[in-house]
Amino acid sequence: MLNCASDSENLDMSFVAVRQFSGSLAVDRSLLRRATFHLFRTLVRGIVGLKWMDTQCGAKVISGRSYRAVSERLVEDGFVFDVELLATLQQGAWPVTELPIMWQEIPGSKLRLWRDLWFMTRGLMRIRRRLNTCDL
């Protein structure tokens, strides 16, 4: 990813890693993780309207210029921070591209499914509200 960022002709380009992408290696996930991944992606697409494959992959390279332009508008933390960051970049027409990466799942999770799903859904609703009122 860093090579793509440094080789990019557009220095404002940001890169988001995608753990499952056509042509990339399949990630070995438990049924619960796969279901949670697909449920959250469906919620992100339905509520916020982002079409990226994998908003939650932690591997992101954001250009300094684009991050400085949007950072003061970021208010969410936790699991929906990534969604707000990408939505804010998209709204500001900052270029973002997805890159497939090799990924290995690590057992265990910080996610407490039902409690966190409730908080994440509320966070997505707040992001949508700010998008619709141009507060992002």
pLDDT band (50, 70, 90) for residue 82:
very high
pLDDT band at 3 (very low <50, low <70, confident <90, very high): low
Res. 55: pLDDT tops 80: yes
Q: How many residues does the chain have?
A: 136
DSSP assignment letter at 14: E
CA–CA dist 16, 99 (Å, integer) = 6
Nearest to 80 by CA among 35, 39, 34, 127: 127
Check residue 7 and give its pLDDT.
Answer: 59
Helix or strand (DSSP H, E) at 18: strand 14-18
One DSSP character per residue, 24-71 reads: SPPP---HHHHHHHHHHHHHIIIII----S-TT-S-EE--HHHHHHHG
In the predicted structure, residue 58 carries a pLDDT above the cut 70: yes
AA identity, residue 40: F
What band does 122 get if pLDDT is binned at 50, 70 and 90? Answer: very high
pLDDT at 24 over 70: no
SS3 129: helix
How far apart CA 126 and CA 121 sit, in angstroms, is 9
Taking the model in full, what pTM does it have?
0.80
User: CA 5 to CA 63: how far, in whole Å?
Assistant: 8
- The residue with greater pLDDT, 104 or 122, is 122
**Least confidently predicted of 32-41, 82-91, 125-134:** 32-41
Task: Please report, rounded to a whole number, the percentage of residues in the chain having pLDDT higher than 90.
Answer: 32
